């Protein structure tokens, strides 16, 4: 099933610099301004996926927590903006490429997810969702700077249905329990509201994620709130899958690390996009 195909960068030069040294310096500067909360046993992260000038500093708060740590495999779950399909698509090439070099795919673990999970109709090997999607790609340069030796499983969630969300989260948690993996959920929050409206809407997402700390946290309610748009997030499905998987891998705490919206960066507060960084970890 797996080919030697390399997924080339499609947003270098637009979402982030195409020059490797400029890109690396930008990320390092973001990381230098982010606080290390000294959180151990991180199982999952939530990271935004806009252009780096808008959301890069918020993303750095998540990546700062894993800087210099050791993960064998990073599973990235991203939403699909560019095309529609009704399953979770795991890329079937050998690597993703950014200006900082190749990021190899953990084909062994990826094949386990595709072939050995109990959800074959919901988790498939495919190039769907990977060809023109930015939300997964923009996570990679940060990972290349903060981690030294890792592989990825790149997953783009098509329709964010309850079945796709739950099957992916459970499959990751069941198959990789006890293994040295990290899950990243790629999402932005509310889109194109006024500044005050965005802050109000995004505070609901923050509170919902913080409920993960409560032993009575109800993932079904979280998924329902995504489906009914009570929680406005373009990657709500990936976040819910990451919550399920992180919990099965031992996470029992959540920490919201940073929140800003595009108005905080650009000064234009008429129609903004919200950005959040968060971590799920085992206390």
* Architecture category of domain 6-281 in CATH: 3-Layer(aba) Sandwich (3.40)
Report helix, strand or coil for 163.
helix
Long-range contacts of 64-67 (CB under 8 A, 24+ apart): 64/31, 64/34, 64/35, 64/36, 64/146, 65/36, 65/37, 65/39, 65/257, 65/279, 66/42, 66/146, 66/147, 66/182, 67/31, 67/36, 67/146
In this structure, what token pair is assigned to residue 234? Answer: 């373009």
Angstrom CA distances, 109 to 133, 151, 154, 157, 159, stand at: 22, 10, 11, 18, 23
pLDDT, position 118: 85
> Shortest CA distance to 240 belongs to which of 208, 271, 274, 270?
208
Give the number of other CB atoms < 10 A from CB of residue 175: 17
Confirm if 11 and 91 have CB atoms less than 8 A apart: no
pLDDT, position 52: 98
pLDDT, position 283: 94
Q: What is the DSSP letter of 105?
A: B
pLDDT, position 2: 75
Beta-strand runs (E) in the chain: 6-7, 42-47, 73-79, 88-90, 95-98, 101-104, 123-125, 151-157, 181-186, 191-193, 253-261, 272-281
Sign of the alpha-carbon torsion through 213, 234, 67, 76: positive
Report helix, strand or coil for 247.
helix
Confirm if 200 and 231 have CB atoms less than 8 A apart: no
Enumerate residue ranges in the chain where pLDDT < 70: none
Report helix, strand or coil for 112.
helix
Confirm if 96 and 103 have CB atoms less than 8 A apart: yes
pLDDT, position 247: 97
pLDDT, position 117: 82
């Amino acid at each position: 099933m797996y080919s030697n195909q390399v997924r080339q960068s499609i947003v270098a030069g637009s979402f982030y610099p195409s020059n490797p040294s400029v890109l690396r310096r930008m990320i390092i500067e973001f990381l230098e301004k982010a606080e290390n909360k000294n959180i151990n046993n991180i199982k999952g992260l939530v990271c935004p996926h806009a252009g780096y000038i808008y959301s890069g500093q918020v993303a750095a708060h998540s990546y700062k927590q894993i800087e210099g740590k050791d993960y064998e495999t990073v599973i990235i779950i991203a939403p699909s903006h560019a095309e529609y399909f009704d399953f979770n698509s795991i890329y079937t090439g050998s690597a993703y490429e950014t200006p900082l070099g190749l990021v190899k795919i953990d084909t062994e673990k990826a094949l386990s997810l595709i072939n050995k999970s109990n959800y074959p109709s919901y988790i498939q090997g495919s190039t769907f969702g990977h060809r023109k999607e930015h939300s997964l790609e923009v996570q990679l340069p940060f990972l290349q700077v903060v981690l030294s030796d890792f592989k990825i499983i790149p997953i783009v969630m098509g329709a964010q249905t309850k079945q796709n969300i739950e099957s992916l989260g459970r499959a990751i948690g069941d198959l990789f329990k006890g293994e040295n993996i990290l899950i990243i959920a790629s999402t932005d929050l509310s889109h194109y509201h006024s500044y005050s409206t965005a802050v109000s809407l995004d505070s609901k997402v923050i509170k919902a994620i913080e409920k993960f700390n409560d032993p009575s946290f109800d993932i079904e309610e979280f998924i329902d709130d995504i489906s009914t748009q009570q929680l406005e997030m373009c990657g709500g499905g990936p976040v819910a899958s990451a919550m399920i998987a992180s919990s099965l891998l031992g996470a029992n705490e959540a920490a919201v690390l940073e929140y800003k919206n595009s108005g905080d960066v650009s000064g234009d507060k008429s129609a903004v996009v919200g950005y959040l960084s968060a971590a799920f970890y085992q206390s």
